[in-house]
Amino acid sequence: MNIVYKVHFGDRQTNFVVKVTYDDMWIAECDELGLITEAKTYDKLIERVWEIVPELYEMNLGSNPEAVKISFVQEQSYDLRMVF
């Protein structure tokens, strides 16, 4: 069982879980932020997420993107498993 604790800044959520999957491209998704993006490598994906999250947070949730914390959770099926 996964327990996710959400930290709040005022009335705004600042701790988010980004689901990462691989299907010929690395894909990151977070419904709360309105995030979906992809990249060819895992490192580029993480870099891309951090590039766009501040703007998404300001547009959708709040005005202090510096307070945002992200947990990356990789999901994979048995047949598509891979090692970092």
Residue range 33-77, pLDDT digits in tens:
999 999 999 999 999 999 999 999 988 887 778 888 999 998 777
Whole-prediction pTM value? 0.74
| 52: in domain | yes
Is 38 a domain residue?
yes
6 within some domain: no
- The answer to whether residue 80 sits within a structural domain is no
Structure tokens at 26: 């690395």
A 10 A CB-CB count for 35 gives 20
For 10-61, the three-class secondary structure string (H helix, E strand, C coil) is: CCEECEEEEEEEECCCEEEEECCCCEEEEECCHHHHHHHHHHHHHHHHHHHC
The domain total for the chain is 1
List the domain range (segments joined by +) for residue 27: 15-75
Task: Kindly report the backbone phi and psi dihedral angles of residue 44, in degrees, each rounded to the nearest multiple of 5, phi listed first.
Answer: -65, -35
Per-residue pLDDT tens digits for 48-57: 999 999 999 9
d(C-alpha 64, C-alpha 39), whole Å: 26
